[in-house]
Every structure is written in structure tokens, then in C-alpha cells.
Structure 1
Amino acid sequence: MHWLYLAVAVVFETTVAIAAGKADGFTNVRWTAATLISGGIATYFLSLALLTFDVGVGYAIWTSVSGVGIVLLGAVLFGQRLDRRKLLGIATVIIGVIGLQLSGSA
């Protein structure tokens, strides 16, 4: 169940980044509300996942997978460029997350 909690936290953390980008410095009330509500939900589900995961490992996986998701969504939704360096960074993050998972901490 802890992996499901972490996955939900990742989805909402990714939503935070997209919504914050649209909030125009928190001047757009709807996107600001989406940012804050998504952040609260993401943090709640992360806290549930951290009941099982080591804090450092769970948080590292949460931020890493969210970061990859944000980069990929930026490319798909906003036409942001994915060059070789970004792809190499994504691959490095994925390898790191696999390494953390294999460490047996969850």
C-alpha cells in the first residue's frame, strides 16, 4: 500500500508544479488554490508512505519521480525541449530510484 500512497503523492506533487507555473506568482486565484490544495494532498499521501519507507529514501523517490514527471509533462503539454542532457538526467534519476528501491528500505 505504501507504493500506492507514494504514487498518489507523486501525481499531486507534479500537479503542484504545473499549477504553480500557471498561478502567475499567486495572482491567479484558481491556479493558486490548485497549487495549495495539491500540495496539501501530496504531503498527506507522502506522510502515509513514510510510515513504511525510510524518510530519506521515500522523500528522495518522491522528489525524483515527480521531477521526471514534470520534465516529461513540460515536453508533452508545453512543447519544452527534451535534449540529450535532459534525457541523460532522467535516466540517471531512474537508475538512482531503482538503486534506492533495491537497497531494501521499503
Structure 2
Amino acid sequence: MHWLYLGAAVIFEIAVAFSAGQSRGFTRFGWTAATLASGAVATVFLSLALLTFDVGVGYALWTSIAGVGIALIGAVFLGQRLTLQKIAGITLIIGGVVGLRLSGVA
């Protein structure tokens, strides 16, 4: 169940980043509200996942998986460039997540 909680936390964290970008510095009320609500829900799910995960591992998984998701959404839907350096960074992040999983800590 902790993986489902972590997955939900990641999805809502991606929503936070997307909404924050659309809020234009919190000047657009609807997007600002979506940012704050998504952040609250992401935090709730993360805290549930951390009942099982070690805090450092759970937080590292949450931020890294969400970061990769945000980068990919930016490239696919927002027209942001995915350079070779970004692809290399994403690959390293994925390798780190897999390493944490294989180490048996998650």
C-alpha cells in the first residue's frame, strides 16, 4: 500500500509544479488554489507513505520521481527542450531510484 501512497504523492507533486507554473507568480487565483490544494494532498500521501519508508528514502523517491515526471511533461506538453544533458540527468535519477529499490530499503 505504501507504493500506492507514494505514487499518489508523486502525481499530486507533479500537479503542484504544473499549477505553480500556470499561476504566474500566484497572480491567478484558480491556479494558485490548485497549487496549494495539490501541495496539501501530496503532503498527506507522502506522510502516509513514510509510515513504511525511511524518511530519507521516501523523500528521495518522491522528489526524484516527481522531478522526472515534471521534466517529461514539460517536454511533451509544454514544448520545453529536452537536451542531452537533461536526458543524462534523468537517466542518473532513474538509476538512483532503481538502486534504492534494489537495496531493499523500499
Question: Under TM normalisation by the shorter chain, which class is it?
Answer: over 0.9
Q: SS at 1:27's partner residue?
A: coil
Other-structure match for 1:54: 54
Any idea what the Cα deviations from partners look like across 1:59-104, whole Å, max 9, x if unmatched?
0000000000000000111110111111110100000001111121
Q: Distance in 2 between matches of 1:34 and 1:16?
A: 7
Q: Distance in 2 between matches of 1:76 and 1:34?
A: 21
Q: Which runs of 5+ in 1 are unaligned?
A: none
Q: Distance in 2 between matches of 1:12 and 1:38?
A: 5
Other-structure match for 2:103: 103
State the identity as a percent.
Answer: 66
CA shift, 1:12, in A, is 0.2
Query: How is 1:33-72 mapped onto 2 (pairs within 5 angstroms)?
Result: 33-72=33-72
Other-structure match for 1:82: 82
**One-letter amino acid matched to 1:37:** A
Q: What is the aligned residue count?
A: 106
**TM-score for both structures, normalised by structure 1:** 0.98
Q: Distance in 2 between matches of 1:58 and 1:68?
A: 16
**TM-score for both structures, normalised by structure 2:** 0.98
Q: Which runs of 5+ in 2 are unaligned?
A: none
